[in-house]
Structure formats: C-alpha cells, structure tokens
Chains A and B, each alone.
Chain A
Amino acid sequence: MTRPVATPARPEPSTARPAKQPANLAERSWWSRNQRSLAPYVFVSPFYLLYGLFLLVPILVGFYLSCTEWAGLGTPRWVGLRNYRDLLTDQSFWAAMGNTALYVLFTLCVVVPAALLIAQALNARGLRGRDMFRMTYFMPVVISPIVISVVFGLIFDKDYGLVNATLQAVFGFGGVDWLGDPAWARVSVVILVLWRWTGYLTIFFLAGLQNVPRELYEAAAIDGAGPVRRFWDVTLPALRPVTAFVAVTVLVNTAQIFDEPFLLTQGGPGESTLSVAMFVFRAGFQRQQLGYAAAAGVILFVVVFVLGQLAMRALGVGRSTR
C-alpha cells in the first residue's frame, strides 16, 4: 500500500493554548495518525461485517452443529464426525444425492440449451408479440408455489390428469402414473423444472444476444455462412460469457433444488424424488435431527462450492476473454 503523497502541514506551535496542541507526532491520537490509511477499510467494513455475520458465521456455526447431536432444545452434545460417518451409510442420503445429480444434469443438458434456443427465436427480426412471449416464458417464475402444486398435481394425475387425457386422445394410451411411479415421478419433477426455469434463463440469453454486434452476422453472411453456421460461429462464441454465467448459476441453484420435488411429490413416491435440500429440511425440521441435518448441509455446501469453482474455471467465468 502506498503512502499518501501529500502529508498535512505540521501545526505551528502556538503560545495561546499550548497544553491542547500535541507537541509532536508521537503525542497525536492513534486515530489521527492512522486515519488516512484506515479510512478505506472503514468504508468497506459494512460489507465485511455483513459478510461475516450472514455468511461466515452461519457456515462456522453449521459446521459446529454438524459435529453435535441436537434436537433443538437443551445443549448440543459433541459427537465429532459421527454424523458424517452415518451419512455415508445412509441410503436415503445417497438416494437424495443421486436424485439431485439427476436434476443438475437435466438442467444443464436440457434447460440451458432450451433457454438458449428460445432466446434465439425471440431475438429474431420481425417477430410479432415479442413482449407477450417474454412475459409468457417469464410468468412461471412469479407464480405462487401453492398454485403450481395444485395445478401440476392435476395435470399429472393418473386418472384425471390433462397429460394422460391428451396422450389418450392423440396416441390412444394414457395410463402413465406420473406421480405414483418412481421413474415417472422424477420425469414429472424435471418437466416442472423445465417449465419453471427455462423462461427465466431465456431472459439472460436474450440480453446477451442483443449485445452481439450485427456486423459479425453481416460479415459471416458475406462469407457465405448460413443460419446454422452463423449460430455456431458467431452467436455461441459471442454468448460464451453469458452461457458460462448461466451454467454456473444453474449448477449451483439446481444442486440446492427444493421447491419442485417438494411441491409436486413431497420427495416421493418413497424417496424417489428426494433432493439433498429436502433431506436437510426433513432431518432438521421433521425429525429434529439438527446436527445430522447440518452435516448433510455441510456436505452439500462443500460439493456445490467445489463444483461451482471447477465449473467457473472450466468456463472461464471472471477471466478476461482477451
């Protein structure tokens, strides 16, 4: 850190009030001596204070809790790493991890590309009713979860559901037990994820597309590139920073997925749609195993943190493209 170039002029000794004036630098207050170098830290301190209070402290307390057995009342009992050891042999936890991995994979492989394609379509010249389309795609994000739960419960019902009725009318079969069969229940959850988040991600891609210089497309067209080639060679490279941001965000958020399986299937049938976040919720707030829940939460945190870091490095998030 460089020192200030301009130093304040030393005060002239005064005979009028000599007792109140410091005789030399050593006699000045600590704050007076350091205020210039400390001032920036004072200004940035609110952030670090909040960062400490609301991020570091919960992480540290969570880690402490994860090494205890605590039902909520009374004093937590220290059990060391026992909760972690138990988690490794808990089939419910591994089921939740497997389901969560499936949701993450689906979101990255289907939802993100779908959002990109929809954004590309919405960005097309001459598209009428663009605002209406944008609003329609964005609407699922703002609909109340309770409404989603009721409506999708009806849509996916085996006997009275819209999906089965449509399948029956169009293809002549419609007996899929969307919410009662473990495999189909997972499919139902990922369909809900697709419906709920594709439009939201589309907004990011649309913003990115609108910043792609039109000259690049014109140059590519002059070189004889068709629409598909222009998409691969112009659009995708230009959208790389946005895509990287969306992919990392989606990875981190989907790894903590809770709403969709909770709303649609409550983690069932059995534990076939249980996610890790639901596992944590269930252990902490339905079974009063706060230490165990904290241990699962710490594992989730570590996994998400590591994956997020790896993804950011792989996709070059935060690095200059030059």
Chain B
Amino acid sequence: MNGMSRRSLLRAATGAGLGALALPGLTACGSSSGRTVSSGRVDVSLWTHDPGYIKTFQAAAGDKALMQGSRFDYRVKATNAAGSDVVTRTIAQAVAGGNTPDLAGVIVDQFPRVMGSAIAENLFVDLSDTVRPFEGELLKLAPYSVDKIPYGLDSDNSITVLYYRQDLFAKYGIPEDLDTWQDLARVGARVYDQHKVSLGMVSTGDNGAIVNGFLQFLLQRGGGIFDASGELVLDSAEAVEVLEFMAQGVRSGFLMSLPDPYGAVCGAALKSGRLAAAAMPNWYNVYGLQANAPEDKGKWRMRTLPRFAGGGHVASILGGTAFCVVKGKPNTEAALELLRRVYLTREGQLLRYHSGGFLPTLKSLYDDPELTSVADDYLGGQRVFDVYRAAAADLPLYYQAPGMQFLSDLLGGHILQALQGKTSAAAALKAGIRDYRQQVKR
C-alpha cells in the first residue's frame, strides 16, 4: 500500500482521539466565566436532593417582603438529584468547565468529600464575612467548615428528640418523663420482655446509617469522632460507653435493630406498634413518622432526650444539609444574597419553617412568638417549640474531617459486630480506629 500504512492510519486515528478527549478532560478545571450579574433578572440554578428546598427557594424568590430592597429579580431553576450526586456532579462539571449550579445543597455526610485537596476552597464561596455579623447566633456551622472557614449554611438544626407513642406508653405503664437513658432502658427491657415492643432503634443497614446512629448517641453523651482541628477523638470512654449501651439495648430488645430507619421495614414496625419510641431528629416527624404511619396522627408526642447518667446533653443532632454558593460564576453575587436573605434573616427563617419544616438556625428565633405558638397536629397539637427551644439550648457541637467517609466505611462493620454481640464495644472501636489509621496514612 502506498502512502499511509494501516498501522499509521490507526495510530493517527487513536492519536487524534486521545488528543481530543484528554486535553479538555485533564486541563479544564474551574468555573465558567462570564459577565457578573449585578442587578435585575437573574436565574439562580439550584441543585438539591430535597423538593422541600426547591419549594422554599421558589417561595422565597416570589416573596416581596423578603426580597424588599434587593437589586435582583430572582427566578430559581431547580434540579433534583440524589444527595451524593449533587456533589459528584458539581465537581464533575467544575472539572469539565461546564454548568455548575449557583447554589448546591450538600448533605452533611457528603461534605467531607470537599474537605480535602482544597476542593471546597476552589469550589465554594468563603462565607466568613457573611456569617460574621451572626457570630454566636448561628447554631450549627462547624460541620461545613474547613480550617475554620465556613463554606455552607445549614438548613436545619436536625435536633434529635425522643418521639414516643403516648397511647402505648400509657398502655404499657411507661413513664413519659424518665430522666436517663438507663432508666428508660430498664423499663424498655421489661416492656420488650412482656409485649415485644421496643422503645428505640439502631440501624444495621449500610455503614453510613450504622455510624450515624452511633454518632447521634455519642454526640449526646458529650463525645465526638473528630475535634475542631480534624483530629480523631473516637478513642474515648464516652464512645465505649455509648456503644455498650446500644449493644445492651439490642440484647434486651429495648432497641430494635432495623436495616433502614426510613424504609418499609421500619414502617411495618411503626404501623404494628412494635416500635413505640425513637430518638430521631426533628425532620423524622415528617419523613419518618408521618410518611410511614399517617394513621397514627395524634398518638405521637415528643420530648427532649433522656440524659446519659454519665453526663452530656438533652439533645443531639443527626443529618442536615448545607447550601453552598459556587464561586466565580456570573450569578455568584446574586446567589449569595439569596442565600443570605433566606437563611440569615428572621423572615427567611420563618419562611423556611413554613415551607419545608426547616428549624431555625438562629438562636433568637426559638423565642419568636410566631414559632413558639406552633402546634403540631400529628403530635396531638403539642407546642413543639417548647421542646425545640430546650433542645437547641443544649445542642452538642459536631465536627467533620476529610477522612469521615473512610471512617464510616470501616467503622460500620465493627459497630455492627458489637451490636450483634460478636465482639465487645471496646474491641470494635479499637479495630475500627486501627483500620481507619491504616487507610488514611496513604
């Protein structure tokens, strides 16, 4: 064959393809450029996993009182995606120089993904100046901070309270005001023994759910997984005590082991009355109880958590979603102002509660008459802010670190073994910490 050989032709085609694909894939990184929008009509793109946020931001954009004095005329273009996908796609789009959102809703357990390799720093707006006027007033900022710089505003405090079936408590003679977990566990063991009814649950499903359930109790007890500087502090007496408490609860039947606290099995347990109480965050009222057992409207109540005899708080936290503003985009300034108006003003916080049930993140709002008078029909008309106020005043602090995902994957199996009585709490935690240290040393 004259001219070009077959090998040369194939080589040329491969080379062209390699160049065409590799170049943008490997070098493009950062945000799309364009003229900054400083006033007038602006379409803010919002990525979130929860339709409640879409409803909230769209309602906020159309709320004249909330937007009074703004230079911007907002429209919210929402995209619904799975929680982990929001982060994955935001990063992928940033790498490709593509269409990143203006506002990204990052679930708390996904935030560690952006804590390493300066991803948060490169991707999101530093909110230090935005939150400075609210120093001491914002309840939960630490989980979304990297090197003490906040990159997201939490939507909800995710305050953990004790939900309980008042009718079943009366039926089985369970006092509603027991002071400590130990007291409740003792009564719970008796109730399970006699009626096969549990007063709480532990998750035995995926590693994330297992560790989150443990973390919820650990934070309440006054412990934690990481400290403010990102150092692992799991090797503590509190951690062992909490895991022993949970394992003992499972053994006695006081705590029911469930694969998924929101799934069909949990729904069956709630509907059948086999689960008469649960320590869960405020959002569980809507997404767990009302979703799974709407027919139990009026039977449930809530209270602050019983304390651990050894100390700690009357509340805990589980979950949460922060909204981050993607930096370097034409709409960045507008998105930041929208976030500030919806999240850092009284009107915005009230709108958030009424639109999506998101609890205020500013302390002062817990004494606001418009909220303190709220009565929850599902909870028998209970004035819920009486409980939330007391809980918000005693919330534990929670810190994350880039290795949180590793820890969650590695610790889950060991915690499960302890819950199943196959190993001791101390041995399980020791093994989990050992595995974690081995993996993060890379």
Contact = CB atoms under 8 A, between A and B. Distances in A.
Interface stretch (B8-16, B234-242, B341-349, B357-365): B8-16
Given A45-B13, A269-B416, A154 B6 contact: no
Interface in B392-435: 405-406, 409-410, 412-414, 416-417, 420, 435
A28 to B, nearest CB: 12
A272 B117 CA distance: 29
Given A76-B26, A92-B439, A153-B263, A266 B205 contact: yes
Interface string B83-124: 010001001101100000000000000000110111100110
B118 A73 contact: yes
Interface residues of A, number: 54
9 nearest CB pairs, A to B: A270-B413, A71-B117, A266-B206, A53-B17, A52-B17, A52-B14, A72-B91, A180-B204, A269-B416
Interface in A34-88: 34, 37-38, 41, 45, 48-49, 52-53, 56-58, 60-61, 64, 71-76, 86
Q: Does more than half of chain B's interface fall in helix, strand or loop, or is it mixed?
A: helix
Interface of B: 1-4, 6, 9-10, 13-14, 16-18, 20-22, 25-26, 29, 84, 88, 91-92, 94-95, 113-114, 116-119, 122-123, 204-208, 210, 256-257, 259-260, 263-265, 268-269, 405-406, 409-410, 412-414, 416-417, 420, 435, 438-439, 442
A286 B4 contact: no
B405 A286 contact: yes
5 contacts: A52-B10, A57-B22, A153-B259, A154-B265, A269-B204
Given A72-B95, A180-B259, 11 more contacts: A38-B1, A52-B14, A52-B16, A56-B14, A73-B95, A150-B263, A154-B265, A179-B205, A180-B257, A268-B207, A270-B416
A57 B18 contact: yes
A57 B413 contact: no
Contacts of A64: 22
Given A153-B259, A153-B263, A286-B405, A180 B416 contact: yes
A268 B264 contact: no
Contacts of B416: 180, 268-270
Contacts of B406: 287
B265 A159 contact: yes
Given A57-B21, A286-B84, A74 B118 contact: yes
Contacts of A270: 207, 412-414, 416-417
A90 B21 contact: no
A90 B92 CA distance: 27
Interface of A: 1, 30, 33-34, 37-38, 41, 45, 48-49, 52-53, 56-58, 60-61, 64, 71-76, 86, 90-92, 150, 153-154, 157-160, 177, 179-182, 265-272, 282, 285-288, 292
Contacts of B269: 159-160
Nearest to B11: A52
A91 B414 CA distance: 14
A91 B435 contact: yes
Nearest to B10: A48
Given A92-B439, A286-B84, A73 B123 contact: yes
B207 A288 contact: no
B262 to A, nearest CB: 12
A302 B248 CA distance: 47
